[in-house]
Amino acid sequence: MSLKSKMVGLAIGLALATPALADDFPSKPITWIVPYTAGGITDTRSRLIADEFAKALGETVVVENKPGAGGTLGLEYVARADPDGYTIIYGTLGTLAAAPSLYKTLRYDPLADFESVHMMASSPNTLIAWKDTPYNNVQELVAYARDHPGEVTVGLAGIGTGTHLASELFMNATGIEMLQVPYKGSAPMLNDLIAGRLDVAFDYAVSTLGHQQSGAIKVLGVTGEDRLDLFPDAMTMAESGFPEATTGSWSGIFVPAGTPPDRVAILTDAFDTAMKTDKVQDAMAKVQSIFMDMDGAEMDAYVAAERDRWTRIIEAAGIEKR
């Protein structure tokens, strides 16, 4: 046999063998879709984890931003992508649990169109207040708001964002009425809070820290299950007597439904390894995000429960669909 025909034979053999071999996945770069703009906290976190994920997987991972419509455009894109395991998406409370109740025309079903790979983290909210407000913790705020109905103003980083949902949940759990003031992102909201034009706001530990250290704002409480290391004196919602107000913006990795289970398993294992590296754990601790060691059926159940919970809360709050 000539060398040429041997090569042809080899090529045919490989081509036939490829679909049967399970361990040749991944054989080309994985695209990690971040449904938010480049440079934000989700983007930088994705790039950091993607680095470790690529090492564990032995294949390049390319982070691509597909922002728009609160992240739902990116989810729509991935819902329609080939379910071959080469496209993965950063899913969140916003896009998977709240979006169906917030948007009129969502072109994906959060539960049916995606397969769970691995959870990432939960970022609890901080409930912050202007330094000169007369209340110093959640209970004092609730008591004050009961005596002065409708007087307290609460900032939102945008309608339908995590901070808005947290404030709805909080008002629902405590029964108090606050005047909601929506902003375009958290920067202008913090600006008004520091200047005393706004009373309280829901925020995240990352952006809260600098202003808390300088004394411009105080942290009344946190919405996570445990207190945060950075603000040891701020009580949780449960400690303050409002366990139903417990929440956190969670995130996880998903693939389009129909991805072969063996490929999902490979992704899950590699992601688990990546999340447990010191580099990723340190980076998450720095921004007070809590690692969620969860995958498979447990993760499916968690997402489904969150979806139910937020559907109820958003309906109760009477937020109009866009």
Q: Are 167 and 203 in contact (CB under 8 A)?
A: no
Q: Are 171 and 178 in contact (CB under 8 A)?
A: yes
Residue 263 in contact with another protein, rule: CB under 8 A: no
Return the number of the residue (66 or 309) whose C-beta is nearest another protein.
66
Residue 26 CA to residue 258 CA, distance in Å, equals: 17
Residue 81 in contact with another protein, rule: CB under 8 A: no
Whose structure tokens read 């445990």?
226
Residue 31 in contact with another protein, rule: CB under 8 A: no
Residue 125 CA to residue 134 CA, distance in Å, equals: 21
Among 86, 114, 130, 183, binds another protein (CB under 8 A): 183
Residue 131 in contact with another protein, rule: CB under 8 A: no
Residue 25 CA to residue 221 CA, distance in Å, equals: 46
**Beta-strand pair 249-256/235-236:** unpaired
- Least distance between another protein and beta carbon 131 (Å): 12
Whether the link from the prior residue into 26 is cis, omega within 30° of 0, is yes
**Listed ranges 36-44, 133-141, 170-178, 239-247: which one lies at the site for another protein (CB under 8 A):** 36-44
Among 139, 182, 238, 300, binds another protein (CB under 8 A): 182
**Listed ranges 70-78, 113-121, 243-251, 263-271: which one lies at the site for another protein (CB under 8 A):** 70-78
Among 69, 235, 238, 317, binds another protein (CB under 8 A): 69
Q: Which amino acid is at 26?
A: P
Judged by CB under 8 A, the chain residues 197 through 236 that form the site for another protein are 197-198, 206, 209-211, 213-214, 216
Return the number of the residue (164 or 307) whose C-beta is nearest another protein.
164
Binding residue count for another protein, defined by CB under 8 A: 55
Return the number of the residue (63 or 237) whose C-beta is nearest another protein.
63
Judged by CB under 8 A, the chain residues 37 through 66 that form the site for another protein are 37-41, 43-44, 47-48, 64-66
Residue 39 CA to residue 58 CA, distance in Å, equals: 25
Among 111, 159, 304, 317, binds another protein (CB under 8 A): 159
Q: Are 227 and 219 in contact (CB under 8 A)?
A: no
Residue 192 in contact with another protein, rule: CB under 8 A: yes
Helix axes 278-286, 261-275, angle to 10 degrees: 70
Q: Are 73 and 291 in contact (CB under 8 A)?
A: no
Residue 212 CA to residue 225 CA, distance in Å, equals: 21
Torsional sign, CA 22, 119, 183, 100 = positive
Return the number of the residue (70 or 248) whose C-beta is nearest another protein.
70
Give the footprint of another protein on this chain (CB under 8 A): 37-41, 43-44, 47-48, 64-70, 72-73, 76, 102-105, 107, 153, 158-160, 179, 181-185, 187-188, 190-192, 194-195, 197-198, 206, 209-211, 213-214, 216, 286-287, 319-320, 322
